[in-house]
Amino acid sequence: MEKFYNIIIEYLNISGYYQRIFIVGIIIILTIIIAIIMHYITNYLIKNHLIKIIEKSETKWDDYLIENNILKYLNALVPLIIFQIMIKKLDFFKHFFEKIIEIGMVVIFTLIANGILSVFSDIYSTYSISKRRPIKSYLQVMSLFLMIVAITISVGIIMEKSPLKILSGIGAMTAVIMLIFKDAILGFVASIQLAANNMVGIGDWIEMPDQLADGDVIEINLTNVKVQNFDKTITTIPSYALVSNSFRNWKGMQSTGSRRIKRSIFLDSNSVKFLSLEEIERYKKIDLLKNYIEKKEKEIKKHNSDKDISSAPINGRRLTNIGMFRAYVELYLRNSSHINQNLTLLVRQQEPTFQGIPLEIYCFANTIIWQEYEGIQSNLFEHLIPTIHEFDLAVFQNPTGNDLRMLRK
């Protein structure tokens, strides 16, 4: 190589300072040419051989190496290594080029490290535990730490100082750093609390009205939680807001596979009455009520005979149409295949209001699919509301214009 330089220098009659510049230029040009050639060679080997081998393999983790550009970053090291070898032959600008190469190495290795973290995140997301214990926020902290270390090392290379001394100087800027990374720090602490207490996970349905969020959690990262609302809009909630404020998580419903039905029918109190013997016999023809009525009649007859209630029937127990309807609704729910019989099921009267007597139905549909749930709930009340009239009851309704016109007549 030196003979080659000497021949060119003698031919061009170059000496002194310009001779050194010429040699540096020749070396740099040759280095660039060699680096480009080696880059294309390694790129060809990776694309046409290594990637094909990876694609044919049965394992999935090596596919993530391609998706996260790990192989591209490794390929980028080849030109830097070529430069590192060739620059040693320089005696002019050598120190300057060494610094550039060292900084380039730091950048490439940082990108590789971040890529490996992404690969680990992708692999972890394939396991079911990732929905309950998301680690994206922790990986983001590690990525942030790697970036800080890379910047510190790069500054140390430029200033020719130990990274430890630079870090000690950064300690004096802690207040400024706390201010700049306030959201990241709060988010990191909040994400630890969310994960430790199993408060929220990917796929959970959460409701947070003050943040306009009502939908499924699709992402949990260092600073925020993304929720896809049912209208397909995306709401971003700061992670610390989920810790400092209240929100509703419907994952308990999702885990049981059932969704609650809680609705009241308001009955007109003027339609409530005792049942006559003829009406009781008529209700015995209803399959669901036959056994209930016979059992209830024996119970009432025994109670009244024990108390010697014969002179005034009002002093004893009697069946009512509202009680009969309540029993019918409960038995109807007990015999429905669409209602989860293993969870709470009750039909109860609540305190009368100016809107009538509320009869509350509390049970759980055996599905969490929205359309199926609404269908079950609608079918239930479409059956019960017309049935009310069979018990000589009336649904309470505020007076309408037609009612007022009838009163005038």
pLDDT digits (tens, 9 = 90+) for 285-342: 999 999 999 998 888 888 877 776 665 667 778 889 999 999 999 999 999 999 999 9
Among 126, 157, 192, residue at a domain's last position: 126
Q: What is the distance of C-alpha 20 from the center of its chain?
A: 63
The dihedral over CA atoms of 62, 65, 68, 70, expressed in degrees to the nearest 10, equals 180
pLDDT for res 127: 80
Mean pLDDT, residues 357-378 taken together: 92
Among 107, 126, 145, residue at a domain's last position: 126
Answer whether residue 351 is part of any domain: yes
How many domains does one find in the chain? 2
pLDDT at 2 over 60: no
pLDDT grade for 175, boundaries at 50, 70 and 90: low
Answer whether residue 398 is part of any domain: yes
Answer whether residue 164 is part of any domain: no
Answer whether residue 136 is part of any domain: no
- Where residue 217 falls (left for φ over 0; alpha for ψ -120 to 50; beta otherwise) is beta
Answer whether residue 163 is part of any domain: no
Answer whether residue 146 is part of any domain: no
pLDDT grade for 365, boundaries at 50, 70 and 90: very high
Answer whether residue 54 is part of any domain: yes
pLDDT digits (tens, 9 = 90+) for 22-53: 666 666 777 778 778 887 888 777 777 777 77
pLDDT for res 334: 94
- Identify the DSSP state of 276: P
pLDDT at 3 over 70: no
Answer whether residue 48 is part of any domain: yes
pLDDT for res 346: 93
Among 95, 126, 157, residue at a domain's last position: 126
pLDDT at 204 over 70: yes
Which of 409, 353, 346, 359 minimizes the C-alpha distance to 388? 359
What is the percent of the chain with per-residue pLDDT over 70, rounded to a whole number? 81
Which of 284, 288, 296 minimizes the C-alpha distance to 323? 296
Write out the residue range of the structural domain in which residue 332 sits. Answer: 259-406
Rounded to two decimals, the pTM is: 0.54
